[in-house]
Structures are given as C-alpha cells and as structure tokens.
Amino acid sequence: MPKPLRVPFDGLAPGVCPLGAPLARYVTRVHRLGPGAALCLFDPQTGLEADGELVDGPSPEVWCRVGAPRPSGYRPLPVHLLQGLGKADKPEEVIRAATALGVASVRLVQTERSVARLSPERGGGRLERWRRIAVEAARQSGRGDIPALTGPSALEEALASVDAEVRVALAASAEPLFFRLGRWRGGEPVALLVGPEGGLGAAERQLAASAGFLPASLGSTTLRTELAGVAALGALVALAAAPIDS
Amino acid sequence: MPKPLRVPFDGLAPGVCPLGAPLARYVTRVHRLGPGAALCLFDPQTGLEADGELVDGPSPEVWCRVGAPRPSGYRPLPVHLLQGLGKADKPEEVIRAATALGVASVRLVQTERSVARLSPERGGGRLERWRRIAVEAARQSGRGDIPALTGPSALEEALASVDAEVRVALAASAEPLFFRLGRWRGGEPVALLVGPEGGLGAAERQLAASAGFLPASLGSTTLRTELAGVAALGALVALAAAPIDS
C-alpha cells in the first residue's frame, strides 16, 4: 500500500470538513484521489498531524474525515539561520533547502550588500510567499512543521534576536566550521550567519563579531552565498546525526 | 590593489599571445580591462596557473603577456561523485556545486529512473557543456583545476570505475553518513553515489551494495536529489577541513 499523501492543513480538528479549494484541486486533480483515499494531514504551524480519509459529501466541495490530531514527532534541528537577503529568488532557494534540512528558524537579513531592499509592506508580502514555500518543502521532505520565518530584519535586530550560545558566521578565510562548533553535536541551539552575494561588509563583520559570532569557513574555495549556506547546513545535519567524540 | 581577474586559459605557455575571442570580450567588455591590467590565468586541465598582463598589440586581437606557468597549488578533495542523471538542468547544478566544493571527479550515471536518456552523441555534446560550466565554477570559486568529468555512464560501468575504498550511497533511511565514513578525514579517496529524482531502483541499490557501497543518510528528512548531494558534499568538505578524532 502506498504511503498516504501528505497534505498541509491549517487548524486540524477531528470531524468531517471540506478541503479548501487549492487543496481539493491538488488532491483530486493532481493526485486523482477520490472517496476512500487516505491522507496524512499536517498543520505546519503547530507540528500536529492527523489521519484523513476522503469521504462522499455534497459537491462541489471535497470532503475529508479528520482523525484525532497527534504530535508529528518531528524535532527540528536547533539551528537558527540568519541569511543575508540576496537578489531574485535566492531567499526562496535558501528557505526551501533550510526547511528540508530541518532547521528550526530562518531570519532573512537586510544587509549593506543586499540588492533587494524591501519596504516593510513588500517584506510582509514576501514573508507570506516564503511561508508557502516552506510549507511545500515541509510536505516534500516529510517534516511535520515549518521553521519559524521572520524578516527581512536589519542586521542589528537580527543579531540581537539570537538566543544561542554557539554562534558562527560563514566567511571565506577563517577557522574551519567544525573547529568553531567545538563539541556541538546537535544538542544545543546554534546560530549560523550567512552573508548575501558579496558577503558582509567590514562594519557588519565587526557587528557580528561583537555579538559573539565567530567567523568559520568551509574548505578552501570561495562559495556563492546560497551554496555556502546549504553546504554548511548539510555539515550541521551530518554532525548532528552522527555524534563523534571530540 | 584588487586581486587580478582569474581567467581560464587552455595550454599556458610563456610569451605574448592573443586571447581568444570569448575571453577577449570577457576581459575588455565585461571587466573593461585594458593594457597594463593584471590577470591570473589558469589552465583547468593541467592545474597550472600563470601571471598575465594585458599588453598593446595589433587590433582587433587582445594581447596578453603570459608569465612562467606554476602549479596552482590547489589540491582537490579526493571525493568522487557518481550522480544519477536528473532531468532539465539538474546535472549542471550538481556539477557547478561539486566543482566549487572541490571534488576530484564527477561521473554522471544513467539510471533506471533517469528521465533524460542521452544517446552517446548527445551525451558527448553535454559533456562539453558540463566542462564549460565546471570551468566557470572553478574560476568563481578560485580552484585552479576542474574535476574529471565523465559520463553519462551505465551504473554497472560507473560502479566498476571506482577506485576508492570508502564507498557510500545516499539513501533516505540508513546509517548516518559520518558513521559510514568511519575514520575518513579527507585523506583517502571516497566515492559518493547519489541517485536521480526518485532514487535508485531496488535492483540498482542491490548492484551498488554488491560493489561495496554502504547506504548512508543525512538526517531524518527526505531530500531532493540535488539538495542531498550538495548537503552531503558540504558535510564531506567540513569533515575534511577540521579533523575530529573518532
């Protein structure tokens, strides 16, 4: 039997209810499911999930019987990503990857070299878009929640918001990442600061250093910002999955 | 003084010679350099580099004085990536990332679930394109060579070509990657097999296992193939850069 289709569903509660139009279309048109088909419903805001079953009901709605919600059991990695806002769809790319890799939060940061300057209003619109992308990445990757998404924030505000003792800032030439992480093996929160294209400016690096962020590098090559972030997150995931004594 | 512009240059030899048309355009139009400007020329095939200086000479050519070639000093990570051929531009994305992350070789592999089936002729054309993408990634990332690029190969052929004792195949549910890597810290060659979208088929996984590839996973989420590969390479780079006792 194939695994039930995972679908995001806000505000899970037991009972029979209609699926919203986009979800109804996704389930019946894209996946061609009908009455009797099993779903796994997950609420990305609460991390709860529930069994669902499509049932007959008055058209044009598509009806679903929702079981008792339970915790999804997914525990995000306590990694808090501060990502310099890049141009075009780079923030989306980073949010998609960071969600799939299991991070706990992503804060987009407005920096000196961020090409895209977002007004609070436009920023708000993008936050909604970023949330949809995270929900889709959560569905695909099988995690039962999405990272806390915030921003775009000023760097000072972003640095002040951090609640993690381990703090590293990716840099081109610096001590190796795993050296900076010391005995971190996924237990405690870690904050990872990644600059936009072109990196952080000198004053910004100084600000980050004053806030306790230690510069850390991945290997000896120069990496584009989105690659550096994903590669560093991959390293954190691998380290957390396989405790190695230091 | 800004660092000299890095430009790829096949067949470095000391003396004064014209730059080919694409390179001349890149140097004079994109970067607006003229006589007296310093270049760092690198030959991605041989790993040699040389100082260069733009000099006056008969138009319409753009002339360059090339100094004595020297080894670039860049040592690739002894990581050999076997990548299941994905659709659209996914192979290009993987080659770009793997080159920047410093791997020694990339072999594209034709698998059961590879959507793109390439005839040897079309495969040849793509190999040339892949090489250009690797050269550009080498330029950007500052490595002095490109990975050995081969394929598309049948899986059997790809597995038989591997000359590495440490062999891992990324899989959704398996022992953690760093557990599988044991005491590997960047010294010996390691082969990393990454399936295409949808993963390897059961018979293919069996073939890989028979060839000594141990299934290894990154964290507990399900990752798209291109994300899984990049994240795993990031983990290998980080591990090689910061020896941790096991």
What tokens does A246 get?
């230091």
pLDDT value of residue A244: 56
Q: What is the pLDDT of residues A191-204, one digit of tens each?
A: 999 999 888 999 99
Percent of chain B with pLDDT over 70: 93
Instruction: Give the distance from residue A33's alpha carbon to the nearest chain B alpha carbon, in angstroms.
Output: 21
Q: Which residue of B has its CA nearest to A231?
A: B234
CATH 3.40.1280.10 assigned to A77-241:
yes
Residue B118 has pLDDT above 70, yes or no: no
Judge: B231–A237 Cβ closer than 8 Å, yes or no.
Answer: yes
Global ipTM: 0.88
Beta carbon pairs, A and B, within 8 Å: 137
Residue B244 in this model has a pLDDT that exceeds 60: no
Residue A246 has pLDDT above 50, yes or no: no
Question: Which residues in A have their CB inside 8 Å of a CB on B?
Answer: 74, 77, 97, 100-102, 140-143, 176-179, 217-224, 227, 230-235, 237-242, 244-246
Helix (H, G, I), strand (E, B) or coil at A223: coil
State the amino acid at position A148 in one-letter form.
A
pLDDT, one tens digit per residue, over A89-114 is 788 999 999 999 999 999 999 988 88
CA atoms of A196 and A199, how far apart (whole Å): 5
CATH code 3.40.1280.10 region(s) in chain B:
77-241
Query: Tell me, what's the pLDDT at A222?
Result: 87
pLDDT of B222 higher than 50: yes
Q: Using CB atoms, which residue from B178, B217, B227 is nearest to A230? A: B227
**Does the structure show a pLDDT above 70 at A123?**
no
pLDDT score recorded for residue B181? 93
Express each pLDDT in B163-195 by its tens digit: 999 999 999 889 999 999 998 999 999 999 999
pLDDT > 90 in chain B, percent: 70
Report the SS3 class of residue B224: coil
Residues A102 and A76 sit within 8 Å (Cβ to Cβ): yes
Q: What is the rounded average pLDDT for all residues in chain B?
A: 90
Pick B242's closest partner by Cβ from A143, A177, A227. A177
Residues of B in contact with A217 (CB under 8 A): 241
Nearest to B83 by CA among B73, B74, B92, B71: B92
Lowest mean pLDDT segment, chosen from A71-80, A186-195, A236-245, B38-47 = A236-245
Q: What is the mean pLDDT of residues A51-66?
A: 94
| Closest of A69, A221, A177 to residue B6, by C-alpha | A221
At the topology level, CATH places domain B5-71 in Ribosomal Protein L25; Chain P (2.40.240)
The pair of structure tokens assigned to A14 is: 């037991």
pTM of the model: 0.89
CA distance B99 to chain A (A): 9
In this prediction, residue A207 carries a pLDDT of 97
- B39 φ, ψ (degrees, to nearest 5): -125, 160
Cα separation, A132 vs A143, in Å, equals: 14
Q: Is residue A74 within 8 Å of residue A89, measured between CB atoms?
A: no
Cβ neighbours of residue B179 closer than 8 Å, sequence gap 6 or more:
A242, B216
